Amino acid sequence: MSKYDFKYLLQENGWLENVTVETDDNGIIKSINQLSSNSSENIGIPGFQNAHSHAFQYAMAGLAEYHPTTKSPDDFWSWRKSMYELALKIDPDQLEAIASMLYAEMVRHGYTHVAEFHYLHHDKKGKSFENIAEMGSRLIQAAKNAGINITLIPIFYQKGGFCKEATIEQRRFISNNIDAYMNLFEASKLLTLNKPHASIGFGIHSMRAVETENIIKVSNFRHDHIPFHIHVSEQIKEVEDSLHYLKARPVEWLSDNISLSKDYHLVHATHLVEKEINAIANSKANVVICPSTEGNLGDGIFPLRNYLSKNGNWSIGTDSHIGINPMEEIKLLDYGQRLTTNKRNTFSNLESGDSGFNALKTALQSGRKAMGNHHNSFFEIGKPLNAVVYSSEHPLLSSCSKKNLCNTLVFASDISMLKATIVNGNYIFNDGIHKNMGTIKHEFERALKVLEYR
């Protein structure tokens, strides 16, 4: 039994004051009690959900910013060539080391859950490992090393583009047919059994990377609210190619051929028309927006204001991990809308003008769905305690009223205000220290030295 005291604790209906949370030995919440007073300076909010991650790409964060001085464009497609070069080098030990470091950094920034969009399946020659889910097993172990919850999403990646064979650079990603993918999924699912920190999801890399009949088949295999993730409409060229080959835009095709629901997570969805925005919002599907990566790659800006006007659901992810701070992702998401619409009330709605609270609530609840968790309560008896703790001793927080607290955290906080991250009832990061950082950092540095990548 453990006790956690908070000056303020954020629930789905607002702030509770002077709260004690008690957990059992497994980190499950046994009670949430309000007191007349306590001496705690802690401010607690629910742990952030990172709904989109490619862990191996963390090794190249910051290394794709030398641009050609010729007239050749440097865009998503040229960046992708650099990413492929890295993907061809990494062995299982190195993947575990890189992912452990990344996930530890996520915890340091307040993430307690990550959805790993995993397509680095095979060995360097493109052959299956003896355990076909070997690389997935390393990601689950990395999450355990770092103390984060993981939803492993083994990705179906079949082709090199619309009506194109996969290239040699993509050889580590490819499942040639639906049976090969389902075998990989089942092997990956077995990895998550009896592991409280791990769960499973279905995933299609993109419309261009899988035959359309197989996209439908995978969707039909899905059951028990297992989440379904797919990249969609990230690039204008992708939309143009979809129109040429499928005679429909990507989201248009999905909504016409699949029964979209709250279990579906459309990653990026940057380039949409009104019909597609309506289709996603009406189906209660979710968009996963990754503002720092989308900005870095020059993808474009998701039409959030229009989408929110239709009560659309969204969550955040860090994708290539050029940024890992969830508050920065939310701010970038908001500021992109402000700069393109010249309006400041992106996250306000008819129920509440509290922008910070509204953003945190949607990012949490839709982010949980991306993990396969449909519980809407921020903190609930019978569920694990996953929380981010801020110190009210910071001048901006010590003088802040409850009314303005969420907005101060979202729009004016920095990482120095974050005091601790609690995952499944355990302090994984506390007072500037991650409990496993020494070993994780050593293994990460050794892996990158061998890779000779940085």
Distance CA 151, CA 201 (A): 7
For the question of residue 224 being annotated catalytic, the response is no
- Where in 129-211 does DSSP place strands (E)? 149-156, 198-200, 202-204
Q: What amino acid occupies position 110?
A: G
Distance CA 259, CA 364 (A): 24
Mention every residue, 6+ apart, whose C-beta is less than 8 A from residue 128: 121, 122
Taking the CB of residue 353, how many other CB atoms lie within 10 A of it? 11
Q: What amino acid occupies position 86?
A: L
Q: What amino acid occupies position 390?
A: Y
Backbone angles phi, psi at 446, to 5 degrees: -65, -40
Distance CA 139, CA 100 (A): 8
- 418-423 and 426-430: which strand pairing? antiparallel
Q: Taking the chain, what is the end-to-end CA distance rounded to the nearest angstrom?
A: 45
Question: Among the options 113, 268, 271, 394, which is catalytic?
Answer: 268
To which residue do tokens 């030398």 refer?
Answer: 66
Consecutive H or E run containing 204: strand 202-204
What are the tokens at 190?
């077995």
- Where in 324-448 does DSSP place strands (E)? 387-391, 418-423, 426-430, 433-434
Question: Taken in order 40, 431, 326, 145, is the CA torsion positive or negative?
Answer: negative
Contact at 8 Å (CB) between 188 and 154?
yes
For the question of residue 256 being annotated catalytic, the response is no
Question: Among the options 263, 319, 334, 354, which is catalytic?
Answer: 319
Distance CA 144, CA 424 (A): 12
Question: Which amino acids are annotated catalytic?
Answer: 268, 319
